[in-house]
Each structure stands twice: as C-alpha cells, then as structure tokens.
C-alpha cells in the first residue's frame, strides 16, 4: 500500500469521523463514495469496507459524549442495533446478488431521496 493511499484513507476516516460526530453521518454518505471515487473500489467492496470500519469501536467516543450530555436513548439504540444486525445480514445477501450497476443506482436514488426530503421537509 502506497503512502498516498494511506493518506487518502486517513483523510476519509477523519472526514467521516468529523461528520459522524457533527451530524450523525459517515458510513454510507462519506466513506462509500470516497472509496469509489478516490480509490477506485466497486460498490460491493466499498460497502463491505465501510461496514467493517463502522464496527463497535468507531462510534464509541462520540456516543460517550452524547451520553454525558444526556442526549442518548440507550433503549432505542439497543432495539435499533438488534434490528440493524439482522437487517445488515439480509441486506448484504440481497446486495451481493444484484448487478453492481443496479446497486450503485439504488444507492444514488436513496441518497437523492433523503437529501430532497430533508431539504424540503420540516
């Protein structure tokens, strides 16, 4: 692995971490497109790498800060995490059976829909 690749990966991690702590985003919105555009990964590899990155230790310090501030609903988080665990398994099984171009289009449509809804919504 070259120094430039390491620096790109560090930059992606820092940007994703800052945005994750700042507004709760990181994986799909920052890491996946960055891996595709800057390192030439395909959609499958970018998604798998992003998921591996976001395992337990990544959000721990950010969660701690929100917990200290009284801004964390642990019961809700545990229920979502359990469902996310099962959903992640099911979603990955579906994704790996779709053509990569179809998966990229679904990803882009979801991001556009969310952006428009948030921009225009209350």
Give burial (CB, 10 Å; 0-12/13-18/19+) of 47: buried
Q: How many CB atoms lie within 10 A of CB 42?
A: 13
Mean of pLDDT values over 82-104: 88
Count how many Cα atoms sit within 13 Å of the Cα of residue 36 in the half-sphere of its side chain. 18
Q: Is 40 left (phi over 0), alpha (psi -120 to 50) or beta?
A: left
Of 81 and 26, which is predicted with more confidence?
81
H-assigned helices in 69-99: 74-95
Q: Number of structural domains, the chain?
A: 1
pTM of the model: 0.67
**Does pLDDT of 56 surpass 70?**
no
Kindly tell me if the per-residue pLDDT of 39 is higher than 90: yes
Say if residue 55's pLDDT is above 70.
Answer: no
Say if CB 49 and CB 35 are below 8 A apart: yes
The 10 Å Cβ neighbour count of residue 35 is 23
Q: Read off the pLDDT of each residue in 78-94 and give the average, rounded to a whole number.
A: 84
pLDDT of residue 105: 92
Domain extent, residue 12, equals 3-120
């Amino acid at each position: 692995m070259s120094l430039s690749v390491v620096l790109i990966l560090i930059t992606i991690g820092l940007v994703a971490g800052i945005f994750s702590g700042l507004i709760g985003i990181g994986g799909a919105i920052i890491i996946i497109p960055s891996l595709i555009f800057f390192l030439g990964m395909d959609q499958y590899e970018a998604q798998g790498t992003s998921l591996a990155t976001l395992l337990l230790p990544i959000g721990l310090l950010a969660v701690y800060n929100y917990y200290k501030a009284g801004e964390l609903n642990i019961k809700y988080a545990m229920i979502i995490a359990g469902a996310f665990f099962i959903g992640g398994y099911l979603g990955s099984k579906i994704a790996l059976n779709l053509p990569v171009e179809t998966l990229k289009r679904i990803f882009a449509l979801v991001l556009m829909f969310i952006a428009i809804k948030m921009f225009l919504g209350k």
